[in-house]
Amino acid sequence: MNSKDGKLKSITKKVREFLLIKSLEKSNKQRGENNLKERLSVIVPDLKDQYTTFTIDKNDRYLVEKVRCQHTFQMTILMKAIQLLLNKQKKIVIVDIGDSSGTHILYLNEFLKEYGIEAKTLSVNMDQIAIDKIRKRGLDAILCRVEELHKHNIEADLFLSFQMIEHLFNPISFLNKISTNTQCDYFVITVPYVLKSRVGLEHIRNNIKDDVYAESIHIFELSPEDWNLIFQFSGWKILHNDRYTQYPKAGILNLIKYEWRRFDFDGFYGVILERDHRIMNQYKSW
């Protein structure tokens, strides 16, 4: 590559990232979540250790904005679920399944202080590195495969799962076990938002020979409509759902949705579920 080609590539990358950042910012403002995003950035100023397989450079404006907007969407849904619990009780137990850093628990603890809520939290992950990071922040965490969580007799008022079930071999079995083997009534879940369901497994699709890890590999990437069927089939009903797009719903920046779809996702889909076995019980196995 000659110097002109290299310079053009660098300029193209900067323009692309600028447009992606602007689309994230515009979407966040259209949803009325800008103030919440700013508040989260005060609670956890540095997202460096959010993931296990890579770090987030605080100078990477695109990646920081992407994750901040995603967290803001997740916390918006979570606080709606918390309000449901507050209508019933003042002491709550919250379990974050697949937590990689404790960040959402830190957000949540700050918000619950305002309500005068006494909350016990627990993070669950199968990765010792993630568990160590969470404990270093002074939070409770256990090392456990999410598929085996029901064996630990954990009694929760609210389960959380942010960007996790798309990584599971069998999300139906997992959701069903949580519904049938615990007394928890509510479950908050977010997943990637795609228009059409598909199988992930990018390492196979791209013939990658290196080892890959569960945190970075999606197995099922389903549309909201298909996830909704699975939630109900597994023993849950949908109390609330929301679709966050990484681009605004209107305006010229809406056109960047085609770029998001090309290399990432339209956005994220979130639900508040309530335990309900009526549809699940319609299915009779031999």
Q: Would you place residue 8 in the very low, low, confident or very high pLDDT band (cuts 50, 70, 90)?
A: low
Q: Which amino acid is at 233?
A: F
Tokens of 249: 């719903």
Q: Which amino acid is at 35?
A: N
Question: pLDDT tens, 202-241?
Answer: 888 888 888 877 777 889 999 999 999 999 999 999 999 9
Q: Does the structure show a pLDDT above 80 at 2?
A: no
* Of 265, 269, 216, 191, the residue nearest 23 (C-alpha): 265
- Report CA 268 to chain centroid distance, whole Å: 8
Secondary structure (DSSP) of 126-177: S-HHHHHHHHHTT--EEE--GGGGGGG----SEEEEES-GGG-S-HHHHHHH
Sign of CA dihedral 189, 192, 194, 198: negative
Q: Could you tell me what percent of the chain has a pLDDT over 70? A: 97
- Tens digit of each residue's pLDDT (9 = 90 or more) over 110-169: 998 887 777 899 999 988 999 999 999 999 999 988 778 877 888 899 999 999 999 999
Q: Cβ–Cβ contacts within 10 Å for residue 153, how many?
A: 8
Q: Which residues of 168-179 are buried (b: 16+ CB within 10 A; e: fewer)?
A: beebeebbbbbb
Beta carbons of 269 and 224 less than 8 angstroms apart: yes
Query: Environment class of residue 206 by beta-carbon count within 10 Å: exposed (0-12), middle (13-18) or buried (19+)?
Result: exposed
3-state percent helix, strand, coil for the chain, nearest multiple of 5: 50, 20, 35
Would you list the domain boundaries of the chain? 3-282
Q: In this prediction, what percent of the chain has a pLDDT beyond 90?
A: 68
d(CA 72, CA 70): 5
pTM of the model: 0.91
Mean pLDDT across 51-74: 91
CA gap 197, 199 in Å, rounded: 7
CATH number of 3-282: 3.40.50.150
